[in-house]
Amino acid sequence: MELHDHTLIQLRDAIARREVSSEEAIRASLARIDSLDTGENGLNAFLEVFHDRALDDARAIDRRIAAEGAEAVGPLAGVPVAIKDNMCLDHGRTTCASRILENYESPYTATAVQRLIDAGAVIVGKTNLDEFAMGSSTEHSAFGPTLNPWDRARAPGGSSGGSAAAVAARMVPGALGSDTGGSIRQPAGLCGVVGVKPTYGRVSRYGLVAFASSLDQIGPFARNCADAALLMNVITGHDPLDSTSVDFEAPDHLTELERPLEGLRLGVPRLARSDQNHPEVARIFESAIEAYSGLGAEIVDIELPLMKSGVAAYYIVAPAEASSNLARYDGVRYGRRAEIGPNDDLVALYARSRAEGFGSEVQRRIMLGTFALSSGYYEAYYNTALKTRRLIKNEFDAVFADASGPRVHAVLTPSSPEPAFKLGAKLDDPLAMYLEDIYTVTANLAGVAGVSIPGGFVDLPGAPKGLPVGLQLLCPTFAEASMLRIARMFEKTGDWNSRAPEL
């Protein structure tokens, strides 16, 4: 087996047994990145690769393993991992795939990333994304789109498309992304990997460049549930540097992963069977329901009527928060500073710096958010969206619990309404792009946990054989351990996680 074919845990264990060195594992990862990510047909999953730094880190870990043993180094000792380029790192650049931060170097490292490093992981590079995480296709990056490893003519999803593509293409066995409205789960579904959106507050946001602060959450990408569970073990936990971080001990997500959840009750919302789903997505979704039923789960038809309003509420709340968060990029304090003439004033500096630095989608969302917060429209738009958000949370609370205990343990939906779409197909129709998030945004609005897992493969005309389709599980707050157990139950029914794109 080639080193890049190892899962994260397989590679970690091989390094721990000293069957392979961390340096060899990192060289294999870097070689695969170099061969697949650059050039005319390169996937463009990475914005920066730390060749020398990663090898130096790997050699240092090998020395520690030889002297102290792998357990002393940490649960990820020597394993290559990538991070989305909206997470601060004290070396390299943190660009958020935007011209306005093109040369920004962070003086510190994000807490979640530091926990990877403290666990012995080697950060090999920073991955591409939609600019400031605003998008569903990774086409809004200022440095070019990421291509889907299963079909280079198609999008990998977004905004964490670079991380999803890097894991799917076996460039790294694990990666971090961020999820504001589906930016981990949607690309995980389109790239055929596992992507976890933890409960809001479960993972520290310190060092994550803000898009929409009440919605953003960091989470892992991996090839299977066990690898995702291990990464969750590493990155979760209270952080005094993040005031929204929850102060209680997180469980071991691996301990009972292989034990099926007894008496499993899965809720299927009416919207999940919408006739707007691609026929092949609908077919795979029904097959998944049958598979869970065959595992002994009780399938419960549920009503989440406000799920259909999630996109409308989200695209008011998120742009409103973005317009506030991105106001700091003014060309004065930090970020790109435009050249202005001697007769230009401060307003001209602001306008020109932002026009040069921000792409069209970011500008669109800033304007949407500013409009929604403006005098005379605040009550009609922003306040109404907040009320809808509260009602959406109430609906989830109702389906997850009643007086006698859990009504359903999880809600099952597709990860997105269609398989990976062609690059450029939705760029001229923002509404069509936004509707790609119809199944994912409500989890962020409600703050609940979610995961996307590979559900199967479809053959589409004009596409290479076998495009992945994802399934989404939504679970109560702080129920990630049982959520991953439920996901693992389905994972064991097929071989979808072992399939790799032909590259």
CATH of the domain at 28: 3.90.1300.10
> What is the predicted pLDDT for the residue at 334?
74
Residue 428 in domain: no
Catalytic residues: 84, 159, 183
Report how far apart the first and last C-alpha atoms of the chain are (Å, whole number).
16
| DSSP state letters, 26-61 | HHHHHHHHHHHHSSTT----EEEE-HHHHHHHHHHH
> What is the predicted pLDDT for the residue at 405?
66
| Judgement on whether residues 57 and 149 belong to the same structural domain of the protein | yes
- The amino acid present at 109, given as its one-letter code, is T
Q: Which residues of the chain have pLDDT under 50?
A: 403
How far is the C-alpha of 43 from the C-alpha of 27, rounded, in Å?
A: 19
Residue 475 in domain: no
**Single residue among 225, 260, 295 that ends a domain in this structure:** 260
| Judgement on whether residues 324 and 228 belong to the same structural domain of the protein | no
Q: Which pTM was predicted?
A: 0.97
| Judgement on whether residues 316 and 239 belong to the same structural domain of the protein | no
| Judgement on whether residues 10 and 128 belong to the same structural domain of the protein | yes
pLDDT tens digits for range 281-333 = 999 999 999 999 999 999 999 999 999 999 999 999 999 999 999 999 988 87
Residue 87 in domain: yes
138: closest CA among 168, 115, 164, 167?
A: 164
| Judgement on whether residues 127 and 185 belong to the same structural domain of the protein | yes
Domain carrying residue 20? 3-260
What is the rounded radius of gyration, in angstroms, for the C-alpha atoms of the chain? 22
Q: Is 442 helix (H, G, I), strand (E, B) or coil?
A: helix
Q: Identify whether the C-beta of residue 369 lies closer than 8 Å to the C-beta of residue 317.
A: no
| Judgement on whether residues 20 and 167 belong to the same structural domain of the protein | yes
| Judgement on whether residues 242 and 322 belong to the same structural domain of the protein | no
> What is the predicted pLDDT for the residue at 465?
85
Domain count, the chain: 2
What are the residues facing 422 on neighbouring strands?
154
pLDDT tens digits for range 183-219 = 999 999 999 999 999 999 999 999 999 999 999 999 9
| Judgement on whether residues 223 and 342 belong to the same structural domain of the protein | no
Residue 118 in domain: yes
